[in-house]
Amino acid sequence: MNTNKSKEIFEEAKKSIPGGVNSPVRAFQSVKKDYPIFIESAKGSKLFDEDGNEYIDMIGSWGPMILGHNYPEVLEVVKSEMEKGTSFGLPTKKEVVLAELVKECFPAIEKIRLTTSGTEATMAAVRLSRAFTKKNKILKFEGCYHGHSDSLLVKAGSGLLTFEHQDSNGITEAVTRDTITAPFGDFEKIKKIIEDEKDIACVIVEPIPANMGVIETSKEFLEFLREITRKKNTVLIFDEVITGFRISLGGACEVFGIQPDLVTLGKIIGGGYPVGAFGGKKEIMDLISPVGNVYHAGTLSGNPVSVAAGIKTISILKENPEIYKTLEKRTKELVSKIENLIQKYEIPATVNYVNSLFTIFFAKDKIENLEDAIDTSDEMFAIYFDTMLENGIIVPPSKYEAHFISYVHSDEDYEKFYFALEKAFEKIKN
């Protein structure tokens, strides 16, 4: 496969963009590649690079593309919205429509605010929790990623894990001190922290972590968090930036039947355009300015193009419940075939999945938390990534990320995936 143009662009990119990329995982560094592929366009389940190569996309822009790229009805709405103007700095009726649509799917959300990214949504949710409880600290879980605001970058997943630093430089000691971390799923430790520490404003959790690879959550654990936070007057935040509208219309809240105090969203609710949102109980949300005194704002918050794409995407998902059923069925089949190939080639690997999210971990035993995820093979993952790429399949360039499949991935796409996977496993075996 010829990727010379990508190589040239990367050399050029490094002169003006740190590391040549605008988000670290995109550099392909952790899968031991000298340069990433540069994407020229996308359609349906496919990406096309600058050299004209075609790839089956298993990244889906890290989640938003549940309907695939440029789904015709979404594209149509976006085009017509753009002709009306792309940013006004004043409210639009469509924002109300999107707010109402999201509320219908998430009963925990009584009021909602739009942002431009998931990072802003979680940052605002934390600030709001502090104002509501008049407490300072936050409890998060090792390997969960909630965007790149200071207090949430402590022991975070995603790109931080990929580059082997779990905390970022440039964050003050005071901020770091106010973020307490615990291993995901460790009932005892978490109980002790929450009982001993009186100053915890919120517990923030990816209800199904997907930024240390996918971790399968037990309902029991989330119920435990709900119970303990309720008792301690601590706000429970479900960060559903990935899981919201991905694992079902009502995300993990619906799947597990749990009502957190606040929910953060992003990705799918913008249909592939920049967006984020946080929402929850009225009494908490009404602390936001201009009703209350907690500041949150944004030049492009509620951007009309993103909002129109979001409304269309959610409406399609809502009107076609078979989409989630199909995605679940296809992922189950996919995972079962991957597991068969793991056995056939005797590869020390295991798969975690939830609806259309999955991660292949190169380790024998079940992966349940960050420690397990770190302890998986980098070398095998790099061979897997490389072989898939050579065979026209782009999988996440990090062992700590999820694969995201879309509704428009075809049988032929899956067949090509299995074909490439056999080649990858053959190489790993040798």
> Looking at the annotation, which residues are catalytic?
145, 239, 267
Give 46's strand partners. 43, 56
Backbone angles phi, psi at 414, to 5 degrees: -65, -40
Q: Between 49 and 68, how does the x/- string for binding to ligand PLP read (CB under 6 A)?
A: -------------x------
352 binds ligand PLP (CB under 6 A): no
The encoded tokens of residue 111 equal 């009021």
CB of 14 to ligand PLP, least distance (A): 23
Question: Residue 207 interacts with ligand PLP (CB under 6 A)?
Answer: no
Q: How many C-beta atoms surround the C-beta of residue 54 within 10 A?
A: 12
Q: Tell me how far, at minimum, the Cβ of 212 lies from ligand PLP, in Å.
A: 11
Q: Which helix (H) or strand (E) holds 141?
A: strand 137-141
What are the CA-CA distances from residue 421 to residues 45, 284, 339 (Å)?
Answer: 18, 48, 11
- Per-residue binding letters, 134-153, with ligand PLP (x by CB under 6 A): -----------xxx------
Q: Classify burial at 338, counting beta carbons within 10 Å of its beta carbon; exposed 0-12, middle 13-18, buried 19 or more.
A: buried
Which residues ranging from 80 to 109 are in contact with ligand PLP (CB under 6 A)?
A: none
356 scored as a contact of ligand PLP (CB under 6 A)? no
What is each CA distance from 148 to 69, 154, 169, in whole angstroms?
A: 26, 10, 12
Tokens coding 109 = 């959300």
Residue 213 near ligand PLP by CB under 6 A: no
Question: Among the candidate windows 80-88, 115-123, 124-132, 315-323, which touches ligand PLP by CB under 6 A?
Answer: 115-123
- Pick the binder of ligand PLP from 64, 143, 266, 304 (CB under 6 A): 266
Rank residues 215 and 428 by Cβ distance to ligand PLP and give the closer one. Answer: 215
Q: How far apart are CA 74 and CA 95, in angstroms?
A: 16
Q: What is the 8-class DSSP label of residue 30? A: G
Whether residue 239 contacts residue 205, with contact meaning beta carbons closer than 8 Å, is answered with yes
> Closest distance between ligand PLP and the C-beta of residue 118, in Å?
2
Q: Are 29 and 23 in contact (CB under 8 A)?
A: no
Q: Which of 118, 185, 260, 397 binds ligand PLP (CB under 6 A)?
A: 118
| Count of residues touching ligand PLP (by CB under 6 A) | 16
For residue 22, the minimal CB distance to ligand PLP (Å) is 11
User: What's the rounded Cα separation, in Å, for the pair 11 and 9?
Assistant: 5
The residue with tokens 């469509």 is: 94
- The distance of closest approach from Cβ of residue 260 to ligand PLP in the complex, given in angstroms and rounded to an integer, is 14
Which residue, 37 or 210, has its beta carbon nearer to ligand PLP?
210
* Alpha-carbon gap, residue 403 to 394, rounded angstroms: 10
Residue nearest to ligand PLP (CB): 118
By CB under 6 A, the residues from 224 to 243 that bind ligand PLP are 239, 241-242
- Taking the complex as a whole, how short is the minimal distance between the CB of residue 394 and ligand PLP, in angstroms? 17
Is 276 a binder of ligand PLP (CB under 6 A)? yes
In the bound complex, what is the minimum distance in angstroms from residue 239's beta carbon to ligand PLP?
Answer: 5
CB-wise, 36 or 266, nearer to ligand PLP?
A: 266
Paired sense of beta strands 46-49 and 54-57, if any:
antiparallel
Q: Does 215 bind ligand PLP (CB under 6 A)?
A: no
d(CA 412, CA 214): 25
Our finding on whether 306 is near ligand PLP (CB under 6 A) is: no
Residue 219 gets which letter from DSSP? H
Which residues, in sequence order, are bridge partners of residue 115? 276
Binding site for ligand PLP (CB under 6 A): 62, 117-119, 122, 145-147, 158, 206, 211, 239, 241-242, 266, 276
